[in-house]
Amino acid sequence: MDTKELLKKVRKIEIKTRRLSDHVFGGEYHSTFKGRGMTFSEVRPYQYGDDVRNIDWNVTARCNAPHIKVFEEERELTMMLMVDVSGSKLFGTEVQFKNEIVTEIAATLAFSATQNNDKIGLILFSDGIELYIPPKKGRSHVLRIIRELIEFKPKSKLTNVAEALKFLSNVMKKKAIVFLLSDFMTEDYQHNLKIASGKHDITGIRVYDKYEAEIPNLGMVQMHDQETGASFLVNTTSKTVRKNYQANYQNKVGYFSDSFKKSGAGALDCRVDEGYVKKLLGYFKQRG
């Protein structure tokens, strides 16, 4: 992809996702994710109705009149976007691939955080850590993240969510708001998720295509595994084949739901053809 085409794509995503973050998600994000506590702001004269526990006795003695301490919420937070860039994201039977929806969701979340002057970082992972961008503020930083999401070429096509969570726990020492975006077509990450959730506020966003959940009856079909590179013929007329495929898929979905629930982390599902705006908004409102 040449520079001109890349900038055009970045600009297109910025216009769409920034509008959403400005008019839809900004306020919900602020009310959902609280700051780290209350910090001292100023001292002012006592007024009727003020909490007497906030009286500053030193100032009161000096001024010979009651004064109270005023506190305000310490708003600054850090958001970490953890994005699965394995081969299975290059799948889609509708208008967009899964990786395109993931990019839009990540950009929307990033601009929502920017509105609140929060830092945003990025972890791209496959079966290893492909790219780490430390948290930073500002529009130019968000645009860099979007560029990486659009054009980054991973070294591996495999997936290992557990390794990504382990890296998060090692690199982020302070509490962060974490959005983990993947199709979660893997297992064995519950232990690492539980450890990471003990320190961070984690939400898993499972992005999937409707034909991943169930294979239609299409006869003999040549299928290609985007992660392993293997190709094979599948007889989709067989009820047993379709049933086994669906059961395997549901096991992965069940593992995702169970793991995030047991870890005390948030979770939501976004189907490619259904849109993500209502899902995200509903999740924010439910948490707020």
CATH of the domain at 172: 3.40.50.410
Residues 97, 66, single domain; the answer is no
Residues 116, 61, single domain; the answer is no
pLDDT in tens, 35-91: 555 556 678 898 888 888 889 999 999 999 999 887 655 557 899 999 999 876 555
Least confident window among 67-76, 112-121, 260-269, 272-281? 67-76
> What pLDDT sits at residue 95?
64
> What pLDDT sits at residue 221?
78
> What pLDDT sits at residue 147?
93
pLDDT in tens, 111-146: 888 887 889 999 999 999 999 999 999 889 999 999
- Phi/psi for 179 (5° steps) reads -115, 120
Number of residues in the chain: 288
Q: Tell me how many domains the chain contains.
A: 2
pLDDT in tens, 190-201: 999 999 999 999
> What pLDDT sits at residue 245?
84
60: containing domain = 38-74
Residue that terminates a domain, selected from 15, 46, 74? 74
Taking all residues of the chain, what is their mean pLDDT, rounded to a whole number?
Answer: 85
> What pLDDT sits at residue 38?
55
pTM: 0.79
Q: What is the rounded CA–CA span in Å between residue 230 and residue 244? A: 19
Q: What is the rounded CA–CA span in Å between residue 57 and residue 63? A: 10
Residues 156, 185, single domain; the answer is yes
Alpha-carbon distances of 40 from 36, 46, 159, rounded to whole Å:
13, 16, 45
Residues 69, 24, single domain; the answer is no
Q: What is the rounded CA–CA span in Å between residue 155 and residue 268? A: 28
Residues 57, 13, single domain; the answer is no
Residues 69, 92, single domain; the answer is no
pLDDT in tens, 155-190: 998 999 999 999 999 999 888 999 999 999 999 999
Q: Are 160 and 84 in contact (CB under 8 A)?
A: no
Residues 128, 243, single domain; the answer is yes
Residue that terminates a domain, selected from 20, 51, 74? 74
Residues 177, 69, single domain; the answer is no
Q: Which residue has the higher pLDDT, 165 or 34?
A: 165
> What pLDDT sits at residue 31?
66
What 3-state class would DSSP assign to 34? coil
Residues 109, 54, single domain; the answer is no
Number of H helices, E strands in the chain: 10, 10
Residues 19, 111, single domain; the answer is yes
Residues 60, 101, single domain; the answer is no
Residues 214, 120, single domain; the answer is yes
Residue that terminates a domain, selected from 48, 74, 100? 74
pLDDT in tens, 204-216: 999 998 888 888 7
Q: What is the rounded CA–CA span in Å between residue 146 and residue 9? A: 9
